[in-house]
Chains A and B, each alone.
Chain A
Amino acid sequence: MRLLPLALKSLRNRRFTVALTVFTLALSVCLLLGVERVRTQTRESFASTVSGTDLIVGARSGPVNLLLYAIFHIGDATNNVSWQSYKEIAALPDVAWSVPISLGDSHRGYRVVGTSADFFTHYRYGAKHTLSFAQGDAFSDLYDAVLGAEAARKLGYRLGDGIVVAHGTGRATIAEHKDKPFRVAGILQATGTPVDASVFVSLAAIEAIHADWQYGTRLPGAGVSADAARKLDLTPKTITAFLLGLKSRVATFGVQRAINEYEAEPLLAILPGVTLQQLWGLVGIAENALRLISALVVLVVLAGMLTALVTTLTERRREMAILRALGATPLTIFGLLLLEALLLAACGALAGIALLYLALAFTQRALLDGYGIAIALTPPTATELILIGGVLLAGLVAGLVPAALAYRNALADGLTIRT
């Protein structure tokens, strides 16, 4: 006796409630897989916030701390690195390139990063993507600024606009470098990294705006005009951190040791990939919470399916009695109900996958632009297949309840039709 056609036709007969059940299941499966996909993609893009940089160097503190302030612009450096040390390390034979970073100023809540134009050629993110300019170019004049995509979009800047840099990093800074305004020379493409929320100026510009400053305040009466500042020696005395690219990755640990044992001042060199993983370990609790919640949603929906199946049992006792009269064993009835639950779960899972790809296809662009999360329309991963298998298994387990009830009814009712 093949139960499948019977189960299918019975489900089709109840197509409205069945469609509702499948639809809610599809939504929950879509949520489960969507969370999984966004989670892995987020982790991947996080882990590759900095790629292609072999070492990040700053004053000695903790690795995560250095990564947080140098790359994510969270918190402040405890100490600076002398320009002298920077030049010496940059000149090591294994070093291919170096990019200095000087932090400390901000513009309307966005960090101002003093760096060299090399930043735009050497900084890599994701799968070794380089930064590219949406508009304009890197700085050519002393008072040129380059904006990250988010900073430009949120603040509504266009090329040629003037901006004033504020001293300090708080949102409510009072002291502004009003006498030396910058011009927006370039706007970067979105990257999904902290670069998007940064304002880049040259190191020399950082020196220039602080020419008449000492110990964190403006020296009274010692005003240096914007043009006068151009004529000063704008070589910085200190920087906050710097990025290093090596000629060969084999040299990484040697150079790292050399920097960590550097005698002139206490420095710390970190491997960005390793420290990013450590940092993700801290953030990871949230991702597990997300997974847990989406798994719970699936369970709740399956409980709903169970309820829907159980409530139909009363009206289907007649159907069961007819099948029993035709020779169906109680076990057949059990199998029929279990098969229906499995079919519902399978339809829900399939529809959920379809819904996920549909949603991804429509939101792919927005996710990349708005959040920098690049989600590719790739086939389901092994983890996702395991999740789908888990949903089917849970559906089967949920189906055991109505199946067992129908089995019990079938034994008790016999051929008596009860309604």
Chain B
Amino acid sequence: MNASLAAVLPFRETTVELRDLQFAWRGAAPLLDIENLSIARGERVFLQGASGSGKSTLLGLLAGVLLPQRGAVRVLGNRINDLRGAQRDRFRADHIGFVFQMFNLLPFLSVRENILLACRFSALRSQQVSERGTLAAEADRLLAALDLDPALIGAKAVGELSIGQQQRVAVARALIGAPELVIADEPTSALDADARAAFLGLLFAECQRAGTTLVFVSHDDSLAPRFDRRVALAEINRAALPVRSARAAGR
């Protein structure tokens, strides 16, 4: 339904739109107060913020895991803060790929099983893959595109991979089934400079191929020039005061 809905809505070229958004953890002062943030379809956005500035909270709001006290979170034209809990989870499974800082993978599943886990939770993404081939073939294609040899590591246990390899497997899982939005939360912070550059190259290439919108969060500004746009959280967050940042960091 979301695909057809998105087609008729005026926001079709906007993947993410935040308007008059306010969020506070229970019993705390407002952490986020964002008047407007919109991210176009296919755009690669670098979201910069210091530790504790509310980056992860913002991502939780985008993913529909957290709800704002005020304002609207629109993803693909859907006001996801109006959806019920299970619907938001479903929406996330269908349309959003997520990459964590590290330890993205379930240790008891093989590399291939980890990638296909995304399809297990989303019939839509599973179906999108199946239209062009088998699930396993798509997982292998993504591994190869991310410079990993599927024959060599596809059946391997996750623990046998280096951190850099694990992060690329996580990207494959976020991209499989072509979700419209990929959110990456400091995915390169555990990598060295060379691996970081290579990782970004591969990530961009695959996002471009699928027309995926990318929201990339990091505190490391040196990566920013490679993105279409840099957004500093401190600049758009009207609630960003040093005191509050410190409190949030302690949380």
A, B assembled together = yes
Residues of A within 8 A of B (CB): 1-2, 9-10, 12-13, 318-319, 321-331, 414-417
Q: Least Cβ distance of A412 to chain B in Å?
A: 10
Mask: chain B, 170-214; 1 = CB below 8 Å from A; 0 = not: 000100000000000100000000000000000000000000000
User: Does A322 lie within 8 Å of B122, measured CB to CB?
Assistant: no
User: Does A322 lie within 8 Å of B106, measured CB to CB?
Assistant: yes
Contacts of A319 in B (CB 8 A): 106
Q: Least Cβ distance of A408 to chain B in Å?
A: 14
Mask: chain B, 88-116; 1 = CB below 8 Å from A; 0 = not: 01101110001011011111110001000
Contacts of B65 in A (CB 8 A): 324, 414-415
User: Does B63 lie within 8 Å of A325, measured CB to CB?
Assistant: yes
User: Does A326 lie within 8 Å of B98, measured CB to CB?
Assistant: yes
User: Does B103 lie within 8 Å of A415, measured CB to CB?
Assistant: no
User: Does A327 lie within 8 Å of B105, measured CB to CB?
Assistant: no
Given contacts A415-B65, A416-B56, contact A322 B121 (CB under 8 A): no
B86 within 8 A of A: yes
B240 within 8 A of A: no
From 110 to 143 in chain B, residues with beta carbon under 8 angstroms from any chain A beta carbon are 113, 117-118, 120-122
User: Does B63 lie within 8 Å of A415, measured CB to CB?
Assistant: yes
Report Cα–Cα, A94/B231, bound state, in Å. 110
Report Cα–Cα, A12/B106, bound state, in Å. 13
B148 within 8 A of A: no
User: Does A327 lie within 8 Å of B59, measured CB to CB?
Assistant: no
Q: Least Cβ distance of B215 to chain A in Å?
A: 13
Pairs A–B under 8 Å by Cβ, sample size 12: A1-B120, A2-B120, A318-B103, A319-B106, A323-B106, A326-B120, A327-B92, A329-B86, A330-B85, A414-B63, A415-B56, A415-B59
Given contacts A9-B108, A325-B100, contact A415 B60 (CB under 8 A): yes
User: Does B66 lie within 8 Å of A414, measured CB to CB?
Assistant: yes
User: Does B85 lie within 8 Å of A417, measured CB to CB?
Assistant: no
User: Does B108 lie within 8 Å of A327, measured CB to CB?
Assistant: no
Q: Which residue of B lies closest to A321 (CB)?
A: B100
Which secondary structure dominates chain A's binding surface? helix
Report Cα–Cα, A7/B60, bound state, in Å. 26
Contacts of B121 in A (CB 8 A): 1, 323, 326-328
User: Does B104 lie within 8 Å of A322, measured CB to CB?
Assistant: yes
Contacts of A331 in B (CB 8 A): 86
Contacts of B185 in A (CB 8 A): 415
Given contacts A2-B120, A322-B106, contact A414 B86 (CB under 8 A): no
Q: Least Cβ distance of B82 to chain A in Å?
A: 17
Report Cα–Cα, A414/B56, bound state, in Å. 10
Report Cα–Cα, A328/B89, bound state, in Å. 6
Partner of B89, one of A12, A321, A329: A329
Q: Which residue of B lies closest to A2 (CB)?
A: B120
User: Does A327 lie within 8 Å of B89, measured CB to CB?
Assistant: yes
Contacts of B90 in A (CB 8 A): 327, 329
- Most chain B C-beta atoms within 10 Å of own C-beta, residue among A12, A326, A415: A326
Q: Least Cβ distance of A237 to chain B in Å?
A: 85
From 218 to 240 in chain B, residues with beta carbon under 8 angstroms from any chain A beta carbon are none
Report Cα–Cα, A322/B118, bound state, in Å. 10
Q: Least Cβ distance of B178 to chain A in Å?
A: 15
Q: Which residue of A lies closest to B60 (CB)?
A: A414
Q: Which residue of B lies closest to A329 (CB)?
A: B89
Contacts of A13 in B (CB 8 A): 107-108
Report Cα–Cα, A318/B56, bound state, in Å. 15
Q: Which residue of A lies closest to B105 (CB)?
A: A322
Contacts of A321 in B (CB 8 A): 100
Q: Least Cβ distance of B94 to chain A in Å?
A: 7
Q: Least Cβ distance of B95 to chain A in Å?
A: 9
Q: Which residue of A lies closest to B110 (CB)?
A: A9
Contacts of B98 in A (CB 8 A): 325-326, 415
User: Does B56 lie within 8 Å of A10, measured CB to CB?
Assistant: no
Q: Which residue of A lies closest to B99 (CB)?
A: A325
Given contacts A326-B117, A327-B92, contact A9 B109 (CB under 8 A): yes
Q: Apart from A327-B90, A414-B63, A415-B65, what are 20 other A-B pairs with CB-CB below 8 Å?
A: A1-B120, A9-B108, A9-B113, A10-B106, A10-B108, A13-B107, A322-B105, A324-B89, A326-B98, A326-B120, A327-B89, A327-B94, A328-B121, A329-B85, A330-B85, A414-B66, A415-B56, A415-B59, A415-B185, A417-B103
Report Cα–Cα, A2/B121, bound state, in Å. 9
Report Cα–Cα, A12/B113, bound state, in Å. 15
Q: Which residue of B lies closest to A413 (CB)?
A: B65
Contacts of B56 in A (CB 8 A): 415-416
Given contacts A328-B89, A330-B85, contact A416 B60 (CB under 8 A): yes
Given contacts A1-B121, A415-B65, contact A322 B85 (CB under 8 A): no
Q: Least Cβ distance of A416 to chain B in Å?
A: 6
Q: Least Cβ distance of A315 to chain B in Å?
A: 11
Q: Which residue of B lies closest to A318 (CB)?
A: B103
For the complex of A and B, 6 pairs with smallest distance between CB atoms: A327-B93, A13-B108, A414-B65, A325-B98, A327-B121, A329-B89
Contacts of A415 in B (CB 8 A): 56, 59-60, 63, 65, 98, 100, 185
Contacts of B108 in A (CB 8 A): 9-10, 12-13
Q: Which residue of B lies closest to A11 (CB)?
A: B108
Mask: chain B, 56-69; 1 = CB below 8 Å from A; 0 = not: 10011001011000
